[in-house]
A and B are shown apart, each in its own frame.
Chain A
Amino acid sequence: MFWAIFPILWVIPFIFQGEALVGGMNSPEFGELAGTERFVPFVLIGAIVSTYLFSSLYGMGGSIRMESYWGTLEYILGSPARKISVLMGKALSESISSTLFVATQMVICIFGFGLTLAVGKILPILLTMLLLVAGLYGMAIALAGVTLQIKESRSLVHTIEYLFYLFSPIRYPVGIHPLIASVSVIIPLTYALIAIRGVWLLNQPINALWRNIGILAVLDVVFIAFGYSIFYFMEKKVRKSGAVSQY
């Protein structure tokens, strides 16, 4: 319930801030950077998509941490099951619950905030989100590996979350600052949000967004490969040091 509702409620202060700074729900200056003057839908879409970010950052690492706490981690890692299968299982479970949250949030945005969504746009948006999820869970697998070693990884995850908020267009267009724009190119969220907003807000046809979707797909492969390598490396390291059973 919490994750279905609160990411949307967190957007409310931005609406009031907009009211105080520009006297309404539209900003021409914002439009120059974002392609749309309507910053409320911009921020709402960022909030919806960032739900996947939360679940990937906190879900996987948290799940590994709980296995460690319950004392079952050793048995999982020592079982004949392939690690990738275990991780994919966890990722699948997390992404299913995140998708339910996202669906609820979309309903709240449509009925509560007046966001409109044509039926024909649903599929391209969903496919883009699925691509995003793949990349984010690649990163999540890396974090799961880090959790094996440093146990209390929650604060590291917190920092990564902040960095994502800072360097990707969740709340504002990345063109606001050159540094933000430079760093955002390596973040999958950037391309997913550009593509989703392009379809949803700017009524761009999907073939205008192939470049962003293509880059997103490439980043997914990179993140998944990177994530699994980190996990594999960390797992070997903790098995050598005996830190698997440590709490």
Chain B
Amino acid sequence: MALFPSTDRMKRYMRAMNAENMKEWKIELTYRVDFIRGMLEPLIFVFPYVLFAMSLMGGRTSSVLEELTGVSDGVTYTIIGYIFMGFLNTAVWGMGFALRKEQWYGTLESIFVMPVPRWVYVMGMALHSTVHQGIILFFQIAVVYVLFGVILNVQGVLPVLILVALMLISLVGLGLMVSGLALIFKEGWIVSEVLYSLITIVTPIAYPLAVLPPLLQKLSKAMPTTYAITGIRHFLIAENMEFPLWDAYSRLIVIGVCWVIMGLVIFHIVDRRVRREGTLAEY
């Protein structure tokens, strides 16, 4: 069996990924109320963090934050981090639960007998979740502009898109890992929840890296979300970065490649295990 599929096969896999994406959209749109709720909920998700920040600052600005980052607007600072961290959600829950969802539907065996590798389904779900999150992000930016007067540097949009794309490579790897692990753990949601929690704890979402204790700073530097979020804040609200931009880009690429490889390996191991144990259809 060849290591890399032929062009023809890759085209087929792309078609399958898109079919998976479209299928998910169709199913999602049948639950209309749920779909609307799913679009609106992220809009309010960020409010508790913002209100907490405001209760600490007694307003909108913080001289301490300005000294640390060059940005005094604590509200905007908090919002940026949390809305872009929504992409972590897509990896851990959207992609991570792709196959678990199929188990829930009862269709996992039906799709596993199809002549496409299993990772194609996760990638298809990744496509769906990413587009979903992109739409939500757009609405979130509109809402925070209206409610909190958040103004972002428009010129930073393109580099931000690049950073998000690079972050997504790592998150796809993470999604593959979680998706595989969710197949073997009966309470697979715990895998997602634990990973999500640990990554959000070590990522400087609403604060600069400098406030983390030394050990957590080391862990933070292994997370793609650290480089992405810090870089995004740099481009959108002119935060002073604690490491060179070029460093952020290169580390994102390296972490991305490593996580994708790890994700594929774990996924492959888990796939063989569930097929050996015969637990594919078990929920």
**Chain A contacts to B: CB under 8 angstroms:** 2, 6, 9-10, 12-14, 16-23, 27-30, 32-34, 39, 43, 152, 155-156, 158-159, 162-163, 165-166, 170-173, 176-177, 180
Contacts and interface: CB of A to CB of B under 8 A. Distances in A.
Given A22-B57, A158-B41, A17 B78 contact: yes
A159 B37 contact: yes
A16 B56 contact: no
A177 B47 CA distance: 12
Interface string B164-195: 00000000000000000000000000100110
24 contacts: A2-B190, A10-B201, A13-B200, A14-B52, A16-B206, A17-B49, A19-B207, A21-B57, A21-B65, A27-B55, A30-B55, A34-B55, A152-B34, A155-B38, A162-B41, A162-B44, A162-B45, A166-B44, A171-B48, A171-B51, A172-B54, A172-B55, A173-B55, A180-B51
B62 interface: yes
Contacts of B194: 2, 6
Contacts of A27: 55-58
Contacts of A158: 41
Most chain A CB neighbours (cut-off 10 Å) among B44, B56, B211, B212: B56
Given A21-B64, A33-B55, A176-B51, A155 B34 contact: yes
A20 B34 contact: no
Interface residues of B, number: 39
Contacts of B201: 9-10, 12-13
Nearest to A22: B56
A10 B52 contact: no
A156 B36 CA distance: 11
Given A30-B58, A172-B52, 5 more contacts: A16-B207, A20-B206, A22-B64, A27-B55, A32-B58
A20 B69 CA distance: 9
